[in-house]
């Protein structure tokens, strides 16, 4: 097991990609050989005003009809035939909305983001000068589901439950899966399924603790996703604000994907799969909504 304390400088002083550097062509080709059924799984949830985990301080997503040519005026003015028109939308939403991927510039500690870049290079209008979401290309690799809830024989971990290293290892052992360098690891707590079904309280939530985050970093994974809204538990483990984000994002350049829909993967006991993710190239962005797709 690695004893590396951070990944700063591991891929050079100018690196902005972080642990995605681990997704070499060889590892991607190996992941392409994983699917056995060809079944695809969409791992995102809807972007909408209500019914999904929206945090009010971020702003509620809005979809507005931009054009609706009911009178067909534009169609007629441009030579269109009767009955021809178009509809469009305008989207106003936070980058951290519904299922989304955190960029490496999202969280800072000691006034630095990943690889030691200054945190004050993130400005209101230009966004992040370094490690923004537009630096992320297409992601494809070996996805691994760690179904902690199922391994414990429950549908939902208790609110605020802190997932330990032992919990992760227990689930991996039950599933007969071992983590590999560059894995895209998805952790199921059952929280999102319960929230969507019952529209309960956003807080508290179960999630991975500080030791579990360090364990995943030591395993040299490239990305960690979860079916909760913060990856880590709320309240934060050991009362360390954003402690898991600091270990994963800031110290190790490991990307995070939150609010993932893992129910169908879990129901099919699909624990290893090809996983693909494409983030929107939002210049200077600290995150992007994503629709991860798994192929089992």
Instruction: Report the distance separating Cα 186 and Cα 184, nearest Å.
Output: 7
pTM: 0.94
Q: ∠ CA(231), CA(184), CA(212), 5° rounding?
A: 45
Buried b (16+ CB within 10 A) or exposed e, 150-166: bbbeeebbebebbbbbe
Half-sphere exposure of 223 (CA within 13 A, CB side): 29
Long-range residue pairs from 54-61, CB within 8 A, at least 24 positions apart, any chain: 54/97, 54/98, 55/96, 55/202, 55/229, 58/94, 58/96, 58/97, 59/92, 59/93, 59/94, 61/91, 61/92, 61/93, 61/94, 61/97, 61/98
* Cβ-based neighbours of 203, under 8 Å, separated by 6 or more: 159, 234
Instruction: Report the distance separating Cα 172 and Cα 185, nearest Å.
Output: 11
Neighbouring CB atoms inside 10 A of 91's CB total: 12
Instruction: Report the distance separating Cα 50 and Cα 176, nearest Å.
Output: 38
- List per-residue pLDDT tens for the chain, 296 residues long: 344 689 999 999 999 999 999 999 999 999 999 999 999 999 999 999 999 999 888 999 999 988 765 666 777 777 777 777 778 899 999 999 999 999 999 999 999 999 999 999 999 999 999 999 999 999 999 999 999 999 999 999 999 999 999 999 999 999 999 999 999 999 999 999 999 999 988 999 999 999 999 999 999 999 999 999 999 999 999 999 999 999 999 999 999 999 999 999 999 999 999 999 999 999 999 999 999 999 99
| Domains and their CATH numbers in the chain | 18-54+94-295 (3.50.30.50), 61-92 (no CATH)
Could you report the per-residue pLDDT of 217-240, keeping only the tens digit for each? Answer: 999 999 999 999 999 999 999 999
> Pick from 166, 165, 167, 172: which is nearest to 146 by CA?
172
Secondary structure class of 225 (helix, strand, coil):
strand
DSSP string of 116-181, one letter each residue: G-BGGGEETTTEESSS-GGG---EEEEEEEEEHHHHTT-SSPPTT-EE-HHHHHHHHHHHT----T
According to DSSP, residue 210 is labeled H
Q: How many residues does the chain have?
A: 296
Evaluate whether 199 touches 193 at the Cβ level (below 8 Å).
no
């Amino acid at each position: 097991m690695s004893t590396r304390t951070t990944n700063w400088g591991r891929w050079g002083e100018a690196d902005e990609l972080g642990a995605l550097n681990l997704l070499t062509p060889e590892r991607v080709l190996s992941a392409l050989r994983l699917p056995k059924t060809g079944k695809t799984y969409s791992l995102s949830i809807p972007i909408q005003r209500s019914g999904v985990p929206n945090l009010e301080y971020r702003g509620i997503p809005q979809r507005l009809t931009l054009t609706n040519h009911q009178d067909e005026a534009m169609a007629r003015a441009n030579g269109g035939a009767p009955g021809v028109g178009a509809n469009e939308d305008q989207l106003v939403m936070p980058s951290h909305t519904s299922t989304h991927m955190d960029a490496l510039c999202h969280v800072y500690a000691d006034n630095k983001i990943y690889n030691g870049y200054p945190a004050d290079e993130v400005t209101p209008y230009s966004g992040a000068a370094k490690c923004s979401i537009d630096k992320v290309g297409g992601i494809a690799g070996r996805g691994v589901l760690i179904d902690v809830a199922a391994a414990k024989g429950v549908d939902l971990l208790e609110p605020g439950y802190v997932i330990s290293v032992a919990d992760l290892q227990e689930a991996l052992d039950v599933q007969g899966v071992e983590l590999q360098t560059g894995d895209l690891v998805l952790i199921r707590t059952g929280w999102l399924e319960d929230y969507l079904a019952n529209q309960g309280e956003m807080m508290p939530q179960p999630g991975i603790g500080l030791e579990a985050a360090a364990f995943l970093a030591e395993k040299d994974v490239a990305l960690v996703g979860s079916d909760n809204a913060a990856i880590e538990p709320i309240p934060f483990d050991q009362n360390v604000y954003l402690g898991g984000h600091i270990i994963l994002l800031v110290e190790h350049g490991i990307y995070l994907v939150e609010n993932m829909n893992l129910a169908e993967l879990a129901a099919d006991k699909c624990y290893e799969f090809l996983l693909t993710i494409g983030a929107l190239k939002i210049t200077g962005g600290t995150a992007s909504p994503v629709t991860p797709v798994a192929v089992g």
